[in-house]
Structures are given as structure tokens and as C-alpha cells.
Amino acid sequence: MKHVRIEDGPRLVVQAWVASRVLLALIFVWVIWSTRTTWHDAAGNWDVAHFLRIARDGYAVNDEAAFFPGLPLLLHGAGAIGVDMTAAGIIASVVGSGFAAWALWRLGGPRVGVVAATLWLFAPTAVFTVVPYTESLFAAFAFWAWVRAREGRWAWTAVLASAACSIRVSGIFLIVALGVMALTGAYEGDRRWVQRAKAIAWLLIPTAVPVAYAAYLRITKGSWLAWYSAQADGWGRTLTWPWDSFAHTLRAIVPGAYADHPGWAWVFRAEVVSIAIGIVVTIACLVLKRWAEATWVGVQVVAFATSYWYMSVNRAVLLWFPLWLMLGSIATRPGKTRTARIVVIVAWGIVSILLLVWWAARFFTGQWAS
């Protein structure tokens, strides 16, 4: 990467974005052709069906209160003007993935950012960045909120974080991590305590978004905790001691688990790997004294590790931008071991692409994909 010129960065990121989206599109077309299914069915599996139903009928199904309203509102708006909602969700995710990759490039700089964005675009679970899921849109808003916060532009941070908070509950973790950034002064500009207090005050704006959603659920469902109840009733996600959560997951990954659906065990095994990656990234951030980044990843790891079992962690890895920036830094840092490190990163990339193909095929064919 030392031969990459600074001005080449945006072009390389765009090329990686196009190449990764084309690869996923080819898998999508292959599944439709080989299974004789419709494109609506291939793109509409799992949570997509929930988002579409909320967009059409509102929160008529109690369990669907587990999903924040940002994406359904976007889909509803598209449907109101005659645009196919599934197509609108695909377009929003594809465009969102581009903005998320751009933000990664900005966070990492001209060289680290190129590698980070490329690895993110070809991540094993990248299929969730091209279908009507929340990962792309949330990452786009959250990553750019981080960019603006690091620049000390807290008004823009508040706007972008508010959008992220409307899309998924991870926005609450984003607010906490941004609060740590504000308190520690880990951003450009005036770092006096008065200015830090003003930065934290800006975060009251995005905080109002999940509070407003909770209030809406209190009015319509009768409980401030309707979101948590929906998670528990619909997906079995209840607050669990971490050792019990691990034990529950262990039963899902042992040989012979889900004999009728062998792919399920492999997905759960990947969930364990994802938790391990999150722990390593959190520790690395702490060692490097990147308190805000450690908070961003660490709080999510704790949340996943105290659920009934490890679920959806594979998708959450897409939100852990410190991981992708660390990989980019490893590949581009000069030193005697640089060649060996590049080989490792290239090997990671090859394995990641192979997993991407497997994961995308699973999702498009309706098999469990986290």
C-alpha cells in the first residue's frame, strides 16, 4: 500500500464498492435462476418481511416493536409514492454501504482507510448491506457521526446520530461512545471542559429519539419496556448471565447440533468467533487508550454476551469500525514484518470473500444467516 497515492484513495474505495456490489448481485441472480424463485422472495427473507409489514401495517404485531421505525418509515415513504418497497430497501442499503465505506476511508486516512473500507465491503456478512436490513443505513449515519465528532463538529454529529438512533437500538450505544469521546476530549478543536460540556449537550438531541420511540410504545402498547418485551417474546432475547449465555450457545455449536439444518450450527459457531473478535478489539482499543472506540465495541459485546445466546453478532461486526481500521493499520504499517502482515491480510480477504459467497447464498435461499 505504500505506492498508493493519497489522491487514489477515493477511486480505489469506489472500485471496491462497485466490485463487491457486483459480486453480491451475481450471487443474487444465480440464486434466482437456479432456484426459480422471484427476486422479491430472494431479497425478502427473515427480518425484511418484518420491516415490510411494519411499513404497510404499522406495529400491528406486538413482537415487531423490537424493530426501530427508521427503516420502515423510509420504506413506507417509498411505497406512498409508488416505488416498490423491497426495491427501495435494496437501493437504500446499496447507497448506504457506499457512504459507510466513504466514512471508513475518512476515519482511516488515505492508506489505512482504503484497506479498511475494502475489507468492510467484502466482509463475510456483507449480504446484509445490500438487502432491506438496517446495517448499511445505520453504519452510514453512525460512521459519519463519528467523523464529524472527531472533527469537533457536534451539531452535525447530533443530526447524524439522531438518524442512526431511529434505525436500530445500537444508536444508544453510539450515544454512550460519543459521550466518552466528548468527556475525554478525543477530538479536534477546543477541548476545555466548557466545550466538552457543550459537546455532551448536543448528544441530548439523539438521546430524544429512542426516548420518543419508548414513549410511542408506552402510548400504543401500554409499556415503556415494550421493545424489551418484544425482543424476549419474539426472539428469546432476555438478560442472561454471561456464563449461561455461553452455555446456551455451546449447545448450538457442538457436533450434531441441528442435524436437520447443518448450516445453523456453523452460523452459531461464527457468532462465537465474532464475540471473540469483539473482545480482542475492545482490549486493543483499551491498550491504545482509545476510550471511545473501546466503549463503542465493548458495550455491544457485553450486550450480546448477556443475551440468552449469541445471536446477530455476525451482523454487528459490520458496525465495529475500529476492527476494520485496525486491519487497515496492520496492512499498511511500515516495518520488517510488513510483508508477512500483508500476506495475512490478503489471506483474511480471500477467506472473507469465500464466506461472503456462502453467506449471501444462504440468505437469498432463505436459510438461517444470523
State whether the Cα torsion 69-300-13-154 is positive or negative. Answer: positive
The parent domain of residue 146 ranges over 6-364
Would you put residue 82 in left (φ > 0), alpha (ψ -120 to 50) or beta? left
Per-residue pLDDT, 7: 58
Spatial neighbors of 272 by CB under 8 A, at least 6 apart, are 249, 253, 310
For residue 355, pLDDT beyond 80: yes
| Structural domain includes residue 369 | no
| Structural domain includes residue 292 | yes
For residue 2, pLDDT beyond 60: no
Q: How many domains is the chain built from?
A: 1
Look at 8 and 330; give whichever has higher pLDDT.
330
Spatial neighbors of 197 by CB under 8 A, at least 6 apart, are none
Rounded to an integer, the average pLDDT of 13-35 is 97
Would you put residue 141 in left (φ > 0), alpha (ψ -120 to 50) or beta? alpha
Q: Work out the number of other CB atoms within 10 angstroms of the CB of residue 351.
A: 11
> Grid coordinates in use for 281?
478489539
pLDDT in tens, 286-324: 999 999 999 999 999 999 999 999 999 999 999 999 999
pLDDT in tens, 204-254: 999 999 999 999 999 999 999 999 999 988 888 889 999 999 999 999 998
| Structural domain includes residue 111 | yes
The pLDDT mean for the chain works out to 94
| Structural domain includes residue 370 | no
Instruction: Please answer whether residues 104 and 143 qualify as being in contact, where contact means their C-beta atoms are separated by less than 8 angstroms.
Output: yes
pLDDT in tens, 247-279: 999 999 988 888 788 789 999 999 999 999 999
Per-residue pLDDT, 5: 57
Q: Work out the number of other CB atoms within 10 angstroms of the CB of residue 207.
A: 19
| Structural domain includes residue 1 | no
pLDDT in tens, 142-155: 999 999 999 999 99
* Rounded Cα distance, 302 and 320, in Å: 14
pLDDT in tens, 154-167: 999 999 999 999 99
| Structural domain includes residue 117 | yes
pTM of the model: 0.94
pLDDT in tens, 94-145: 999 999 999 999 999 988 999 999 999 999 999 999 999 999 999 999 999 9
Look at 162 and 7; give whichever has higher pLDDT.
162
